[in-house]
C-alpha cells in the first residue's frame, strides 16, 4: 500500500496522467447549441403533457432535467429520497420545487454536506407529477435493492443508461451524465460566474479544480461573435442539415396560418417557411422560435434567410450593449440561439445544393 512517504517514488513512474477535464478544454464534453435546444424542447414537451406521459417517459424526463440543469452525478441522484423534495404552491407561476442533495466523491464523511437546488419553474410540473405518482406507489422499473424511500428507486446503471438513451433519442448524440455536468458548469462560467461559484455548484472542495471551465470559456468578443453568428468556430455547431424544406410555390399554396411570419422587435419578417402546426396554435414567439422548432419547414431560398440574419444582427448588438455585456438576459440568449440556427440553416441549404429558390 502506498503511503505519503512514497510520493517521490510514484512521481518517478513512467505513465501518462488521465486528465478528466480534457473533454472540457477540447469542447468534446460540452453540448453544442443544437443539442441544448433539443433537450430544452423535449423537456418543455414532456412538461406540457406530464399528466398523460407514461411512467417511463416521465421518469426519464425527470432524470434528464436534474442532470441537465443541476449537473448531478448518477450516484447523487440515486441518493435522493422522496422526503428530500419540497413542493410549494406558487401564486401565478405555478408550483415551486426544491430538492435536497448531497455532495459526492468526498474522502471524509463530514464533507458530504447537503445543498438545496431549485427546479426551473417551467419544468417544475415534471417533478410534481412524478412525485405524486411515487407517493401512490407508481414506479417505472424498481431495483430489487432500492428502498421505498428513494425518489428514483432504480439501479445506478439504469440511471446512467436512461440519461444516455434519452439524450441520444432527443439529440441524435449519446451524452453521459458527466457531459451534462460539464456543460452545466461551462454555462455558468460563460455567464460570468466566479471560480468559487462554479466550484460550489459542482461541489468541489477546491476552487482550482474548476479552472478548466474558465480556460475553455470564450472572451467577451468571442461571445459577441457567437451571438452574431459570424464566428467560424460555430459554423458547424448546429447539425440541422435540414432536408425538410419547402419551395416558394408550395409555401404560397398553404393556408396563411401555416405561412411563418412576424414582427419580432419591430422588424417585419415574412415568407421564411411553413409551420406544420400553424401560428395560431403556437405558444412561442414566431420567427424567433421557429428556426429551432422541429415543426418548422424553412423555405429553400438562401437569400431569404440571409436577409433575416442581417435584420436581426443589429438587434443582438443592441441588447448586448444595453445589458453591458450580460449574455444571460433572456432576450439575448434567445436571439443568440436563433441566429446560430439561421446560419446553420443557410449553410445546410448551401451544402445540400439548394439554390436561391428560383428555377
Which grid cell is 112? 458530504
Of 331, 71, 338, nearest to 188 by C-alpha is 71
Query: pTM, whole model, 2 decimals?
Result: 0.59
Picking from 202, 217, 232, the residue at the C-terminal end of a domain is 217
Q: Could you list the residue range(s) of the whole structural domain that residue 294 is in? A: 223-351
* pLDDT tens digits, one per residue of 141-162: 888 888 889 999 999 999 999 9
Tell whether the model's pLDDT for residue 78 goes beyond 90. Answer: yes
Please tell me the total count of domains within the chain: 2
Instruction: Clarify whether residues 198 and 288 are in a common domain.
Output: no
Domain-located, residue 359: no
* pLDDT tens digits, one per residue of 174-231: 999 999 998 888 888 777 777 888 888 888 766 666 677 766 665 444 555 555 555 4
Instruction: Clarify whether residues 211 and 228 are in a common domain.
Output: no
The b-or-e profile of 139-175 (16+ CB within 10 A means b, else e) is: bbeebeebeeebbbbbbbebbbebbeebbeebbeeeb
Query: Which residues have a Cβ under 8 Å from the Cβ of 133 and sit 6 or more positions away?
Result: 55, 58, 139
| Percent above pLDDT 90 for the chain | 29
Amino acid at each position: 500500500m502506498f503511503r505519503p512517504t512514497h510520493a517521490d517514488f510514484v512521481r518517478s513512474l513512467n505513465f501518462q496522467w488521465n486528465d478528466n477535464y480534457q473533454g472540457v478544454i477540447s469542447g468534446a464534453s460540452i453540448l453544442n447549441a443544437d443539442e441544448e435546444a433539443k433537450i430544452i424542447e423535449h423537456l418543455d414537451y414532456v412538461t406540457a403533457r406530464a399528466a398523460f406521459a407514461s411512467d417511463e417517459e416521465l421518469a426519464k424526463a425527470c432524470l434528464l432535467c436534474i442532470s441537465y440543469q443541476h449537473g448531478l452525478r448518477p450516484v447523487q441522484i440515486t441518493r435522493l429520497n422522496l422526503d428530500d423534495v419540497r413542493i410549494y404552491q406558487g401564486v401565478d407561476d405555478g408550483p415551486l420545487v426544491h430538492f435536497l442533495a448531497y455532495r459526492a466523491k468526498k474522502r471524509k464523511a463530514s464533507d458530504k454536506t447537503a445543498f438545496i437546488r431549485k427546479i426551473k419553474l417551467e419544468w417544475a410540473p415534471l417533478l410534481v407529477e412524478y412525485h405524486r405518482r411515487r407517493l401512490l406507489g407508481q414506479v417505472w422499473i424498481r431495483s430489487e435493492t432500492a428502498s421505498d424511500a428513494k425518489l428514483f428507486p432504480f439501479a445506478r446503471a439504469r440511471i446512467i443508461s436512461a440519461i444516455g438513451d434519452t439524450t441520444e433519442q432527443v439529440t441524435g448524440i449519446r451524452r453521459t451524465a458527466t457531459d451534462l455536468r460539464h456543460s452545466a458548469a461551462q454555462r455558468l462560467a460563460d455567464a460570468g460566474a466566479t471560480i468559487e461559484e462554479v466550484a460550489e455548484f459542482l461541489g468541489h472542495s477546491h476552487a482550482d479544480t474548476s479552472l478548466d471551465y474558465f480556460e475553455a470559456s470564450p472572451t467577451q468578443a468571442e461571445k459577441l461573435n457567437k451571438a452574431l453568428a459570424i464566428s467560424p468556430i460555430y459554423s458547424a455547431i448546429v447539425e440541422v442539415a435540414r432536408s425538410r424544406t419547402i419551395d416558394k410555390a408550395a409555401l404560397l399554396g398553404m393556408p396563411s396560418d401555416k405561412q411563418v411570419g412576424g414582427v419580432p422587435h419591430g422588424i417585419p419578417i415574412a415568407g421564411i417557411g411553413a409551420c406544420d402546426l400553424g401560428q395560431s396554435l403556437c405558444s412561442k414567439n414566431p420567427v424567433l422560435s421557429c428556426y429551432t422548432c422541429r415543426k418548422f419547414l424553412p423555405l429553400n431560398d438562401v437569400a431569404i434567410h440571409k436577409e433575416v440574419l442581417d435584420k436581426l444582427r443589429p438587434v443582438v448588438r443592441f441588447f448586448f450593449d444595453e445589458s453591458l455585456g450580460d449574455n444571460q438576459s433572456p432576450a439575448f440568449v434567445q436571439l443568440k440561439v436563433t441566429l446560430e440556427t439561421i446560419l446553420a440553416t443557410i449553410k445546410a441549404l448551401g451544402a445540400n445544393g439548394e439554390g436561391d429558390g428560383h428555377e
